[in-house]
C-alpha cells in the first residue's frame, strides 16, 4: 500500500460526458502529480500541484483541468470525453527523500464508450 | 528534452535465473535521479530501486541491483534469482534535480518468468 488513495477505481462513461477523478496523497506529502497511461502513449505526465498551487504542466489537454484543495487532496476533471481518453489515470505524491521518488495510487481506469 | 529509451519490449527468464533489463536516457544535466518501477497485472506502480547520479556506487535492493554507466547514459536493472512474482512490466524513469521536476518514463518492458 503506497498510501496514495484514488477513487473511483473504474469508471465507464459515454463520449461527450464529464468525469472527476479524486486523489488523496500520502500523509504529509504536499506534491501531487497526475499521469495518464494508455497503450499507445505509455505513461504521460499531465500536471503537478504543490500545496495547492500548479507547479508544472505536461501534455494535458485543454478539456482537462485539475486542482489541489487546502486539505491537499486533488481532483482531475475530464470533460467532453472522447474515445481516445480511455486510459488509466494515476495520481502520485512525491516522497521526502532527496531523490523525491513518486508513490503511485492504484489508478482510475476510465473507459469511454 | 530528456528522453528515456527501453528498446526491448519483452523479455523472458527462467525461474531462479538472472535477467538484465536495459535502459538508456538522454540528458544534458550532470546531476539527476534514475528509477525502476514495476507494474504487475494489478496495475499498481511500485518503486523497485533508485539511483542518484552523483553516487558512483550502484544501488542494490535485495535481489535487484542496477548497473549505472553515467558516461554511456545507461541504467540497467539486474534481477537475480528470478521469482514468478517478478513477472510484470518494468519502467525505467528519469528525474531532474528540482522540487517540481517530473518523472519521465520509458515505454516499459514486459518480463515473463518461466516456471
> Are residues B34 and B25 in contact, defined by beta-carbon separation less than 8 angstroms?
yes
- pLDDT digit string (tens) for A84-97? 999 999 999 987 77
* Half-sphere exposure for A58 (CA within 13 Å, toward CB): 18
- The nearest CA of chain B is from the CA of A110 a distance in Å of 13
| Cα–Cα nearest to A23, from A91, A83, A95, A94 | A91
CA-CA-CA-CA torsion sign (A59, A63, A68, A74): negative
| pLDDT for A107 | 96
Q: What is the DSSP letter of B59?
A: P
A54 pairs with which residues across the strands?
A49
Q: Which of A93, A102, A109, A110 to mutate to test the interface with B (most CBs of B within 10 A)?
A: A102
CA-CA-CA-CA torsion sign (B42, B43, B47, B49): positive
User: Is the CB of B101 less than 8 angstroms away from the CB of A104?
Assistant: no
| pLDDT for A42 | 85
User: Is the CB of A31 less than 8 angstroms away from the CB of B99?
Assistant: yes
Q: How large is the C-alpha radius of gyration of chain B?
A: 14
Q: What is the C-alpha separation between A100 and A69, in angstroms, rounded?
A: 22
Instruction: Give yes or no for residue A51 having a pLDDT over 80.
Output: yes
| pLDDT for A98 | 66
Neighbours of B108 (CB within 10 A): 19
Q: What one-character-per-residue DSSP string does B48-95 give?
A: EEEEETT--SPPEETTEEEEEETTTTEEEEEE-S--GGG-EEEEEEEE
pLDDT by 10s per residue, chain B, length 115 = 689 999 999 999 999 999 999 999 999 998 999 999 999 998 999 999 999 999 889 999 999 999 999 999 999 999 999 999 999 999 999 998 877 788 999 999 999 999 9
B44 → closest Cβ in A100, A101, A104: A104
**Mean pLDDT confidence for A45-57:** 94
Nearest CA in chain A to B101: A56
Is some CB atom of chain B closer than 8 A to the CB atom of A33?
A: yes
Nearest CA in chain B to A34: B102
C-alpha cell at A29: 506529502
Q: What is the C-alpha separation between B53 and B32, in angstroms, rounded?
A: 5
> Are residues A105 and A42 in contact, defined by beta-carbon separation less than 8 angstroms?
no
Is some CB atom of chain B closer than 8 A to the CB atom of A100?
A: yes
B5-25 in b/e burial notation, b at 16+ Cβ within 10 A?
ebeeeebebeeeeebebbbbb
**Mean pLDDT confidence for A13-29:** 96
Amino acid at each position: 500500500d503506497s498510501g496514495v488513495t484514488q477513487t473511483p477505481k473504474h469508471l465507464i462513461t459515454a463520449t461527450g460526458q464529464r468525469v472527476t477523478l479524486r486523489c488523496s496523497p500520502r500523509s504529509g506529502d504536499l506534491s501531487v502529480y497526475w499521469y495518464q497511461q494508455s497503450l499507445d502513449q505509455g505513461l504521460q505526465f499531465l500536471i503537478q500541484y504543490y500545496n495547492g498551487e500548479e507547479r508544472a504542466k505536461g501534455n494535458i489537454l485543454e478539456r482537462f483541468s485539475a486542482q489541489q484543495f487546502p486539505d491537499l487532496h486533488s481532483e482531475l476533471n475530464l470533460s467532453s470525453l472522447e474515445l481516445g481518453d480511455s486510459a488509466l489515470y494515476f495520481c502520485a505524491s512525491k516522497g521526502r527523500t532527496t531523490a523525491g521518488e513518486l508513490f503511485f495510487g492504484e489508478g482510475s481506469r476510465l473507459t469511454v464508450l | 528534452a530528456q528522453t528515456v529509451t527501453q528498446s526491448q519490449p519483452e523479455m523472458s527468464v527462467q525461474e531462479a535465473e538472472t535477467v538484465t533489463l536495459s535502459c538508456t536516457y538522454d540528458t544534458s544535466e550532470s546531476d539527476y535521479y534514475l528509477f525502476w518501477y514495476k507494474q504487475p497485472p494489478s496495475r499498481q506502480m511500485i518503486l523497485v530501486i533508485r539511483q542518484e547520479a552523483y553516487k558512483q556506487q550502484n544501488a542494490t535492493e535485495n535481489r535487484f541491483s542496477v548497473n549505472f554507466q553515467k558516461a554511456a547514459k545507461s541504467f540497467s536493472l539486474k534481477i537475480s534469482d528470478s521469482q514468478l512474482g517478478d513477472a510484470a512490466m518494468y519502467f525505467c524513469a528519469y528525474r531532474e534535480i528540482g522540487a517540481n521536476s517530473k518523472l519521465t518514463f520509458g515505454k516499459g518492458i514486459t518480463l515473463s518468468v518461466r516456471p
